């Protein structure tokens, strides 16, 4: 399999009140193209720090991160910004959107800002509308962001993450602010997109979410303690049960 992301000996250290805090310690893993991988662990274990480190949102203290063959820890800030904008998609628990823009305009904004975009504004709107239709939210295209439900807004965030056709989507607790029904709807969409070939790496505390992923990395005190591989022949319910049993063994 082609590796889209390869991480070697990644470390992140902060100095707080003259005390060294090792948030990430010699992290090693890879993500294959087309894979859907989850990162789990206790609060404060380094899950989000790992996501930010491998996506170029935060500079590592040491180690190497190869994204599509480029060593991102060696890149300048403007080069990293271009990669994050053009080749990566992001979904967060807090659905950051511009309040003065419609849902559709929020979705196409990254493409408007992209240096690789060659489409007109009309063509971008058509592309954004097509994504919204695919996720079943085309009816809210002209709405303000405070006029839609949390589940609809998170699906709009998924559309926004896809507008520049990224190589990978990074998601930090994408269902954390949603009720169970909306959470299931969002994960249905992410799972469907993954089935179409979109690579996804997500952080979650929810075993029901992680059970849909092909692999789960369990991180404790900045180290990857172990990983779980989904049984592709098992039902989702069986995978949830198996993953929960494994997490109990991990002390989660």
pLDDT in tens, the chain (252 residues): 799 999 999 999 988 888 888 999 999 999 999 999 999 999 989 999 999 999 999 999 999 999 999 999 999 999 999 999 999 999 987 778 999 999 999 999 999 999 888 899 999 999 999 999 989 999 999 999 999 998 899 999 999 999 999 999 999 999 888 888 888 888 999 999 999 999 999 999 999 999 999 999 999 999 999 999 999 899 999 999 999 999 999 999
C-alpha–C-alpha distance, residues 89 and 146, integer Å: 23
The structure tokens listed for 127 are: 């592309």
What pLDDT does 179 receive?
87
C-alpha–C-alpha distance, residues 206 and 41, integer Å: 10
Opening angle at CA 233, ends 186 and 209, nearest 5: 25
* Domain containing residue 33: 3-249
Q: Domain holding 53: CATH number?
A: 3.40.50.300
In terms of Cα–Cα distance, which of 230, 222, 237 is closest to 13? Answer: 222
Cβ atoms of 130 and 122 closer than 8 Å = no
CB-based burial label for 229 (10 Å; 0-12, 13-18, 19+): exposed
pTM for this predicted structure: 0.93
What pLDDT does 182 receive?
86
Cβ atoms of 224 and 27 closer than 8 Å = yes
- Domain count for the chain: 1
Judged by DSSP in three states, 96 sits in coil
What pLDDT does 131 receive?
95
């Amino acid at each position: 399999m082609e590796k889209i992301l390869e991480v070697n000996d990644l470390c992140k250290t902060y100095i707080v009140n003259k005390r060294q805090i090792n948030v990430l310690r010699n992290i090693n893993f890879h993500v294959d193209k087309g894979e859907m991988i989850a990162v789990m662990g206790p609060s404060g274990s380094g899950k989000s720090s790992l996501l930010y480190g491998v996506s170029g949102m935060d500079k590592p203290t040491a180690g190497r991160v190869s994204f599509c063959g480029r060593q991102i820890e060696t890149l300048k800030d403007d080069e990293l910004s271009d990669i994050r904008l053009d080749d990566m998609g992001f979904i967060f628990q807090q659905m950051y959107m511009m309040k003065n823009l419609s849902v559709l305009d929020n979705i196409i904004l990254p493409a408007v800002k992209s240096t690789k975009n060659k489409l007109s504004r009309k063509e971008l709107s058509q592309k954004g509308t097509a994504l919204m239709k695919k996720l079943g939210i085309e009816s809210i295209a002209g709405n303000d962001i405070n006029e839609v439900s949390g589940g609809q807004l998170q699906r709009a965030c998924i559309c926004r993450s896809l507008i520049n056709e990224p190589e990978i989507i990074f998601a930090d607790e994408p269902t954390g602010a949603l009720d169970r029904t909306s959470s299931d709807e969002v994960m249905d969409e992410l799972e469907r997109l993954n089935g179409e070939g979109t690579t996804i790496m997500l952080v979650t505390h929810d075993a029901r979410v992680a059970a849909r992923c092909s692999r789960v990395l369990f991180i404790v005190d900045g180290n990857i303690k172990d990983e779980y591989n989904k049984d592709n022949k098992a039902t989702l319910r069986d995978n949830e049960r198996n993953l929960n049993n494994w997490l109990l063994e991990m002390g989660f």
